[in-house]
């Protein structure tokens, strides 16, 4: 399974990374890494979350 970020979601992630970097040096990088790890967990265990709508799942 692949986790796909829409263009808007990717932009929101980059905005959050920049914001966290402004708050504390290195925090944006750590945040991005946690998002990456979460995406890998979702890809590895796609059935672990409840169905929200169609094929969309959420926690």
Q: What is the pLDDT of residues 3-45, one digit of tens each?
A: 889 999 999 999 999 999 999 999 999 999 999 999 999 899 9
Give the pLDDT of residue 59: 67
Segment holding 52, helix H or strand E: strand 50-53
Q: Quick check: is 23 in a domain?
A: yes
What the block records as the tokens of 10 is: 């990717």
- Which domain range does residue 16 map to? 7-58
Q: Quick check: is 1 in a domain?
A: no
What the block records as the tokens of 11 is: 């932009």
Q: Quick check: is 29 in a domain?
A: yes
pLDDT band, residue 53 (cuts 50/70/90): confident
pTM tops 0.85: no
Question: Structural domain tally of the chain?
Answer: 1
Q: Quick check: is 2 in a domain?
A: no
Give the pLDDT of residue 21: 97
Q: Quick check: is 43 in a domain?
A: yes
**Torsions phi, psi for 22 (to 5 deg):** -65, -35
For residues 7 and 54, which has the higher predicted lDDT (pLDDT)? 7
For 42, which DSSP code?
H
Q: Quick check: is 12 in a domain?
A: yes
Q: Quick check: is 35 in a domain?
A: yes
């Amino acid at each position: 399974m692949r986790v796909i970020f829409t263009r808007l979601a990717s932009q929101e992630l980059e905005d959050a990374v920049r914001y966290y970097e402004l708050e504390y040096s290195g925090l944006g990088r750590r945040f991005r890494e946690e998002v990456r790890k979460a995406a890998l967990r979702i890809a590895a265990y796609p059935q672990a979350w409840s169905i929200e709508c169609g094929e969309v799942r959420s926690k």
